[in-house]
């Protein structure tokens, strides 16, 4: 079964029918739940990676056999080494390879011969080292494809799966069991995070270091984890996404079940340089990542800290079932900080119902603050916290809570933690805690953690996490958006492109671009050629006054210079007069020019100028852009992007979300612009560039938009095609 | 000596000559370094605050006598309690008061009688509880002023000074000695942070909880710490700043010596509501805080975490001596994250000199990355880190370094930490570390901390901190800006304001506002009244053509309705004709109107429209605003604010920093606007509203700005005055 988004598995896999099978998702199970593992290059030398990997596999909870393979033989950590894979008593499901790079292809061949279908190549010395290494990597992959062996790496830290107890890595720590599955495009960052996660008590389901991604990629892992019951949230550190479209599709599938949180690095200009020197890949731009994440339903984190804050929130608490948040606190200061943060994120504090306030009054001292944030005062004991939280959770407008505790004289952090955990579990509202301080609240924090309520040291981080969860919940609740239904005249566009290609051009001429637009129903000014005055009258009547008349001649380049253009022709009399005038001027000023007649064009109505454009990202494909024209685009860069194809809802959001959107809705007594007409053009452009991969870029600038109901018209359209 | 910014100490202090003395900064020494302390309300009951405070004072390193005062007598923690302050063997420098609110005034009187000049009132039950409490607080302060006693609180957590060993608070932890002085407007947040600081090993010089700020305020503390040699950085959590101007002045003085970092809460709309219910104070708006911080040279933090990240940076490392930063790493991933963060903040990565790269090549493996970020590879040992850091520090373009370490097989975190500390100390470049992970780097982190190199768990936080330090260094290096030198016609403005007041208006009429503007040299359209045609000619010649003519009559309100306005008068002939026309229309259409003649006004030149305005913040005073006019202000809110008075450099920055600034510099072949003329108007407006406190708001909208050299003219000016 071929699961590549482009359906082109045969090409990718060398057209060998056998090898087609290896793209099946299921095969990754041999990486995560192998029955047996061989470490090829296992070493007695404790300073060697080959020793660390073998020791890690033995030390973990993995119950199957682990075979050390080393041609030198000997005993490694009490196990007799085998000379080669072929000497093992059984076929290992998984081979972990830590031999020098030059010897790796040979080991892959062995895998193929014995029937091992999964290999982790930890060894470095491949593409990351230059052309020779790249050649070796190609050799390795050719063999892997021939033999149907899936490869993780090369040049990676390895893989950890806590449920099956597999630690097929040289990471010095084994994380505890949890529901976070983490993939990292940086091995070193992976190590650091594993170390940190162990210290912070963050549990993982799987950890994978991707290395050079010669075969297994982030897309494969996302697909595999979409079907893994132990994965509650997928967390990724990404530097470059190869198959952008497949990635978006895979994540879109994944997030139907579990959230996907990612930190993308190298998306700044300076960062992108660092990526190139680091992995030899080109980083997608920030704009492309943002558009792709939005299309996929992924959640972007701004820092490593945020990545795991979000992960903890998603892993431990249910998504909020609505938008109302309550802040419960025993101190004003941190509640104000939380409120400020909520305001920054656009998180809505619930307005409590009268009955809720009444119930609170019955259990809280009169000096308490009964409106959100609810301040139960510095002398609040655990019972007061528990009672208030339950009353708040009963309010139909409350769907999530941030519970803030500062250690004061009467504070009972441990018992409060217990009651918060109970209330969270029993009421089902999303509950995040902010037990501030260190020693005084250490045990309370532990109780929270064990009870599944994530704790954050400062209010801002809890609020940011809750906001991410809220955003995700909203996105999940939204009906699946369908791409705008637009059926264009495929033949007409194909011809225009072919014509430009035949002429050796990388763009489509203006007239031809108008026809392409018309083929997809994008309104362009009506126009036509009239050979003489009577024909001009008929044409103008058909187009509708006012019209513009231009001399049509292959010999007159600068029509306006010789007075060959007349604007604002309001009626037939004016049309006749204009025809006379133009012909007279041409006869007088360019008597030798060949004259085909005149072009009659619809005069453009007045309106607001906007821009609709397309740019094709090398990884994620076409992105549709919308913005106000002129200085708004050039100076203020007030534009927004979506991955094509867009839905009508997307297009409507685009129009609404630019900073200057109010100018379209109408300000200062101005009529609203015809937003429906803009949405329609965005949809049609999206369909056009989705249907034609040859279209590399497209600009409708300006699209002139009339008042509501008056439509929009593409005054100028430029289309660039692949070379 | 009176140190209030408004010079009005007598009013504030009840006009008692003796009490004037108590505003001397020096007297706060009795809070921080008392020779003896009495705890009034010391208790044997371990659950009481009066016990905790007394125990804290005994437990700390404070060497002077600590007297328990309790009318009930008895022995408290082995000390005989005294019945009152008057019974003590010596006069305590400092009294810490923990008796019920009603008894506090009596204790203050006792302080006055025995000569104790400093009192910390921990007791609650004052202004925060309502009108009765507020009355009690006023009574307390009246007594304090009469007796010359300074008051910290009431309703506060207390004060800690680590050098003198004074823990005059009920906080359960004593922070270690350090150079961070921390003031908090929230006691509970203070406790939480003290607890956290103890856990994180963050050392403090002083900690003060301000409580209700009946007397000692953030301004007093900033002034006191400006002269405290143990304070290396002042850190503040602020909810409301009472005397905004005095605060700005105090911080401006302070930052000449040490940085000031603050987190302001309640500056969002929702947060501001929380403040009102919390302390009964009105929060300054975010805009006012930003303008005030900028004017003062303060550094704003976005979260509690950032507050202390910044504090650690400032406290432990020197300011960067230049803008070039280098990132040194043993792994690509975190370096990319650091690079991305630097890009977001606008922090410049240094371009290394050829000699530096050559020197690096001599000591690093060939696969290393020799350009910034410098990646010394995963197998980097401590020596490699040390050598690379010293070579980089030698580069004249490198002034700061972020040293990233991920724990890998060959990594030596401890020895690396030692070499990083040595290199930082010996080279003097600002050095921040990011030793990632937990257990593997725990000892290394400790070595860094002891060596004065702050460590951050994730690269983004180190970069944000370095950026704050960099910003501060730049600000400190800037020459002191002087307010624009503008001398206005004080008498004319005074008269205009008096006139409006006399008429019972809260605004100045249009004509009068023009005269106010002229009094400060702000260009307004020239205009005058001409009684008849010859006078009109003379006036128009003086003003210069083109001009506008309007009928001048107290009886004609809607001049244009009767044709009483003629625009675009280009010369004398047109002027004569216009005069005839207007007089004819008036005679015909309003024959009974009294006619004074005609107003001749300079016709406004074409130009770009901008807005210069003023808004007076209740705490920080007048703020000058600049923006582009029309939709840029209304829809895009593209404006910028500064506290008045502004310097010319400020005004120039304002014009340059709006998002649409390019429209003034000239885009699309447009000429640049006359930015000097805008700067001049901003300066003059700033001077005007600084000179006249009665001016509450002012709008020049639009200010019409010509091309460079063509000046600017205030087409419309509105001035509101205090009621």
Provide the token pair at B180: 């961070």
Q: Residue B712: helix, strand or coil by DSSP?
A: strand
Of all residues in chain B, the percent with pLDDT exceeding 90 is: 70
Distances (CA, A) of A182 to A122, A204, B436, B452, B673: 18, 7, 17, 34, 54
| Cβ pair B336:A185 closer than 8 A | no
* Residue A268 Cα, gap to closest chain B Cα (Å): 5
Q: Kindly state the average pLDDT of the residues A600-604.
A: 89
| CATH no., domain B171-316 | 3.40.50.261
Q: With the CA atoms of B5, B11, B17 and B20 taken in that order, what torsion angle do they form, in degrees rounded to the nearest 10? A: -30
> From B348, which residue of chain A is nearest by alpha-carbon distance?
A270
Q: What is the DSSP string of A701-717?
A: EEEEE-BTTS-EEES-E
Residue with tokens 């408004």: B6
* Residue A282 Cα, gap to closest chain B Cα (Å): 13
| Cβ pair A200:B331 closer than 8 A | no
> From A670, which residue of chain B is nearest by alpha-carbon distance?
B631
Q: Kindly state the average pLDDT of the residues B373-401.
A: 96
Distances (CA, A) of A441 to A411, A412, B176, B201, B217: 10, 9, 19, 16, 30
Q: What is the DSSP string of B18-72?
A: HHHGGG-GGGGHHHHS-S-EEEET--S-TTSHHHHHHHHHHHSS--S-EEEE-TT
* Residue A211 Cα, gap to closest chain B Cα (Å): 12
Q: Distance between CA atoms of B20 and B14, rounded to whole angstroms?
A: 9
What pLDDT is stored for residue B319 in this prediction? 95
Chain A residues close to B458, C-beta within 8 Å: 303-305
Q: Kindly state the average pLDDT of the residues B634-660.
A: 91
Under CATH, what is the fold of the domain A1-156?
Rossmann fold (3.40.50)
Nearest by CB to residue A199, choosing from B302, B439, B458, is: B439
Say if CB B124 and CB B98 are below 8 A apart: no
Give the tens place of pLDDT for each residue, A313-357: 999 999 999 999 999 999 989 999 999 999 999 999 999 999 999
| Cβ pair B200:A438 closer than 8 A | yes
Residue B720 pLDDT exceeds 50: yes
Say if CB A536 and CB A551 are below 8 A apart: no
| Cβ pair A436:B185 closer than 8 A | no
Q: Which residues contact A223 (CB under 8 A, 6 or more apart)?
A: A3, A25, A250, A253, A254
Q: Residue A158: helix, strand or coil by DSSP?
A: strand
Provide the token pair at A555: 């010999």
Give the tens place of pLDDT for each residue, A176-218: 999 999 999 988 889 888 888 888 888 999 999 999 999 999 9
> From B670, which residue of chain A is nearest by alpha-carbon distance?
A631
Least confident of B137-151, B179-193, B273-287: B273-287
| Cβ pair B635:A339 closer than 8 A | no
* Residue A326 Cα, gap to closest chain B Cα (Å): 13
| Cβ pair B270:A173 closer than 8 A | no
Q: Distance between CA atoms of A471 and A681, rounded to whole angstroms?
A: 28
Mutation site, A200, A270, A281, A372, interface B, largest B CB count within 10 A: A270
Q: Where is pLDDT greater, at A45 or A668?
A: A45
Residue A603 pLDDT exceeds 80: yes
Most confident option among A21-25, A198-202, B3-7: A198-202
Nearest by CB to residue A274, choosing from B273, B339, B378, is: B339
Residue with tokens 């005269």: B515
Instruction: Please count the CA atoms within 13 angstroms of the CA of B338 that sit on its side-chain side.
Output: 36
Q: How many CB pairs under 8 A join A and B?
A: 277
Q: Distance between CA atoms of A411 and B456, rounded to whole angstroms?
A: 30
Say if CB B603 and CB B700 are below 8 A apart: no
* Residue B596 Cα, gap to closest chain A Cα (Å): 36
Tell me the CATH architecture of domain B1-158: 3-Layer(aba) Sandwich (3.40)
What pLDDT is stored for residue A277 in this prediction? 29
> From A631, which residue of chain B is nearest by alpha-carbon distance?
B663
Q: What is the DSSP string of B396-416?
A: TT--EEEEEE---TT--HHHH
Q: Distance between CA atoms of A608 and A665, rounded to whole angstroms?
A: 11
Distances (CA, A) of B663 to A634, B607, B673: 10, 12, 8
Q: Distance between CA atoms of B665 and B675, rounded to whole angstroms?
A: 8
Confidence of residue A11 (pLDDT cuts 50, 70, 90): very low
* Residue A604 Cα, gap to closest chain B Cα (Å): 23
Chain A residues close to B336, C-beta within 8 Å: 186, 239, 265-266, 271, 274-275, 278
Angle between helices A382-394 and A413-427 (to 10 degrees): 20
Confidence of residue A310 (pLDDT cuts 50, 70, 90): very high
Say if CB B579 and CB B535 are below 8 A apart: no
- Helix (H) / strand (E) containing A721: strand A717-721
DSSP structure class, residue A552: E
Q: Distance between CA atoms of B632 and B611, rounded to whole angstroms?
A: 10
Overall pTM surpassing 0.90 (yes/no):
no
Give the tens place of pLDDT for each residue, B391-425: 999 999 999 999 999 998 789 999 999 999 999 99
Nearest by CB to residue A333, choosing from B188, B371, B662, is: B188
Provide the token pair at B120: 């910390």
Neighbours of B50 (CB within 10 A): 25
**Burial call B108-144: b when 16+ CB within 10 Å, e when fewer:** bbbbbebebbbbbbbbbbbbbeeeebeebbeebbebb
Mutation site, A211, A337, A467, interface B, largest B CB count within 10 A: A337
Q: Kindly state the average pLDDT of the residues B450-474.
A: 96
Q: Distance between CA atoms of A69 and A60, rounded to whole angstroms?
A: 19
Q: Distance between CA atoms of A599 and A588, rounded to whole angstroms?
A: 20
- Helix (H) / strand (E) containing B513: helix B510-519
Q: With the CA atoms of B461, B464, B469 and B470 taken in that order, what torsion angle do they form, in degrees rounded to the nearest 10? A: 140
Say if CB A68 and CB A83 are below 8 A apart: no
Q: Kindly state the average pLDDT of the residues B116-124.
A: 95
Confidence of residue B23 (pLDDT cuts 50, 70, 90): very low
Chain A residues close to B277, C-beta within 8 Å: 369, 371, 375
Q: Distance between CA atoms of A352 and A343, rounded to whole angstroms?
A: 17
Least confident of A276-285, B38-47, B124-133, B665-674: A276-285
Nearest by CB to residue A340, choosing from B267, B331, B334, is: B267
3-state secondary structure B587-656: HHHCCCCCCCEEEEEECCCCCEEEEEEEEEECCCEEEEEEEECCHHHHCCCCEEEEECCCEHHHHHHHHH
Mutation site, A266, A336, A441, interface B, largest B CB count within 10 A: A336
In CATH terms, the superfamily for domain B526-603 is ATP-grasp fold, A domain (3.30.1490.20)
CATH 3.30.470.20 holds for B608-721: yes
Q: Kindly state the average pLDDT of the residues B270-274.
A: 42
| Cβ pair A239:B333 closer than 8 A | yes
In CATH terms, the superfamily for domain B318-477 is Succinyl-CoA synthetase domains (3.40.50.261)
Domains B171-316 and B318-477 are alike in CATH topology:
yes
Chain A residues close to B193, C-beta within 8 Å: 436-437
Phi, psi of A167 (to 5 degrees): -120, 80
Strands of the sheet with B299-300, listed across from one edge: B166-169, B158-161, B204-209, B177-184, B233-238, B260-264, B299-300
What pLDDT is stored for residue B268 in this prediction? 52
Confidence of residue A555 (pLDDT cuts 50, 70, 90): confident
> From A305, which residue of chain B is nearest by alpha-carbon distance?
B458
* Residue B536 Cα, gap to closest chain A Cα (Å): 37
Distances (CA, A) of B701 to B21, B610, B628, B630, B639: 48, 7, 9, 9, 13
| Residue B306 backbone zone (phi > 0: left; psi -120 to 50: alpha; other: beta) | alpha
Residue with tokens 């047996």: A36
Q: Which residues contact B224 (CB under 8 A, 6 or more apart)?
A: B25, B28, B29, B32
Residue B191 pLDDT exceeds 70: yes
**Burial call A546-578: b when 16+ CB within 10 Å, e when fewer:** bbbbbbbbeebeebeebebbbeebeeeebbeeb
Confidence of residue A272 (pLDDT cuts 50, 70, 90): very low
Geometric angle at alpha carbon A440, from A437 and A443, rounded to 5°: 105
Say if CB A292 and CB A247 are below 8 A apart: yes
> From B283, which residue of chain A is nearest by alpha-carbon distance?
A336
Tell me the CATH architecture of domain A317-477: 3-Layer(aba) Sandwich (3.40)
3-state DSSP helix/strand/coil percent for chain B, to nearest 5? 45, 20, 35
| Cβ pair A192:B330 closer than 8 A | no
Chain A residues close to B409, C-beta within 8 Å: 47, 49, 52, 170
> From A464, which residue of chain B is nearest by alpha-carbon distance?
B303
- The structural domains of chain B, with segments of one domain joined by +, span 1-158, 171-316, 318-477, 526-603, 608-721
Average pLDDT, chain B: 89
DSSP structure class, residue B111: H
Say if CB A439 and CB B195 are below 8 A apart: yes
Sign of torsion over alpha carbons A275, A280, A286, A292: negative
| Cβ pair A460:B302 closer than 8 A | yes
DSSP structure class, residue B353: P
Distances (CA, A) of B722 to B224, B241, B510, B622, B684: 35, 22, 17, 13, 20
* Residue A406 Cα, gap to closest chain B Cα (Å): 6
């Amino acid at each position: 079964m071929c699961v590549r988004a482009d359906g082109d598995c045969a090409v990718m896999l060398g057209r060998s029918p056998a090898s087609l099978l290896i793209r099946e998702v299921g095969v990754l199970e041999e990486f995560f739940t192998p029955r047996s593992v061989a470490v090829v290059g296992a070493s007695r030398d404790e300073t060697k990676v080959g020793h660390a990997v073998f020791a890690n596999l033995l030390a973990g909870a993995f119950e199957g056999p682990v075979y050390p393979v080393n041609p030198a033989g000997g005993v490694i950590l009490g196990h007799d080494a085998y000379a080669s894979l072929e000497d093992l008593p059984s076929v290992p499901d998984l081979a972990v390879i830590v031999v020098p790079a030059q010897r790796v292809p040979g080991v892959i061949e062995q895998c193929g011969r014995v029937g091992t279908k999964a290999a982790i190549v930890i060894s470095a010395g491949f593409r990351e080292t230059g052309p020779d290494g790249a050649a070796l990597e190609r050799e390795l992959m050719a063999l892997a494809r021939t033999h149907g062996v899936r490869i993780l790496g090369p040049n990676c830290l390895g893989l950890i799966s806590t449920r099956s107890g597999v630690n097929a890595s040289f990471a010095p720590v084994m994380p505890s069991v949890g529901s976070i599955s983490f993939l990292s495009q940086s091995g070193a960052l992976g190590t650091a995070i594993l170390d940190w996660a162990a210290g912070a008590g963050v549990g993982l389901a799987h950890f994978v270091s991707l290395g050079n991604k010669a075969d297994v990629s982030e897309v494969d892992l996302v697909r595999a984890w979409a079907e893994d019951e132990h994965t509650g949230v997928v967390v990724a550190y990404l530097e470059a996404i190869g198959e952008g479209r497949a990635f978006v599709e895979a994540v879109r599938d994944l997030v139907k079940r579990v959230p996907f949180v990612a930190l993308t690095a190298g998306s700044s200009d300076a960062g992108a340089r660092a990526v190139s020197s680091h992995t030899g890949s080109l980083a997608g731009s920030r704009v492309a990542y943002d558009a792709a994440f939005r299309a996929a339903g992924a959640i972007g984190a701004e820092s490593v800290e945020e990545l795991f804050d979000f992960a903890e929130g998603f892993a431990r608490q249910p998504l909020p079932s609505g938008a109302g948040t309550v802040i419960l606190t025993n101190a004003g200061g941190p509640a104000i900080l939380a409120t400020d943060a909520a305001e920054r994120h656009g998180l809505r504090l619930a307005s409590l119902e009268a009955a809720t306030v009444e119930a609170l009054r019955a259990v809280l001292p009169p000096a308490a603050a009964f409106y959100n944030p609810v301040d139960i005062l510095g002398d609040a004991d655990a019972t007061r916290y528990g009672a208030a939280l339950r009353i708040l959770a009963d309010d139909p407008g409350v769907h999530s809570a941030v519970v803030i505790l500062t250690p004061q004289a009467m504070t009972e952090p441990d018992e409060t933690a217990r009651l918060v955990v109970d209330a969270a579990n029993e009421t089902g509202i999303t509950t995040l805690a902010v037990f501030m301080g260190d020693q005084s609240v250490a045990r309370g924090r532990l109780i929270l953690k064990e009870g599944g309520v994530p704790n954050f040291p400062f209010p801002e981080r809890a609020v940011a996490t809750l906001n991410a969860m809220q955003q995700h919940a909203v996105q999940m609740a939204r009906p699946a958006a369908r791409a705008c239904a637009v059926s264009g005249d495929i033949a007409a566009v194909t011809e225009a492109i072919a014509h430009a290609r035949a002429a050796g051009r990388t763009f489509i001429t203006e007239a031809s671009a108008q026809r392409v637009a018309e083929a997809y129903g994008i309104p362009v000014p009506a126009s036509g050629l009239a050979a003489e005055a009577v024909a001009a009258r008929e044409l103008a009547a058909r187009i509708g006054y006012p019209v513009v008349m231009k001399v049509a001649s292959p010999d007159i380049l600068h029509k306006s210079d010789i007075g060959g253009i007349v604007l604002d022709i309001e009626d037939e009399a004016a049309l006749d007069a204009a025809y006379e005038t133009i012909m007279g001027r041409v006869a007088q000023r360019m008597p030798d020019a060949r004259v085909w007649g005149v072009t009659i064009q619809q005069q453009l109505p007045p309106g607001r100028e906007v821009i609709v454009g397309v740019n094709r990202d090398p990884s994620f494909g076409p992105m549709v852009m919308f913005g106000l024209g002129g200085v708004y685009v050039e100076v203020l860069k007030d534009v927004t992007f979506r991955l094509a194809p867009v839905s009508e809802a997307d297009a409507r959001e685009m129009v609404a979300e630019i900073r200057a959107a109010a100018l379209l809705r109408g300000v200062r007594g101005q009529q609203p612009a015809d937003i429906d007409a803009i949405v329609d053009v965005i949809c049609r452009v999206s369909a056009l560039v989705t249907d034609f991969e040859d279209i590399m870029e497209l600009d409708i600038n300006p699209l002139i938009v009339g008042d509501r109901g008056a439509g929009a018209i593409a005054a100028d359209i430029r289309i660039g095609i692949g070379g």
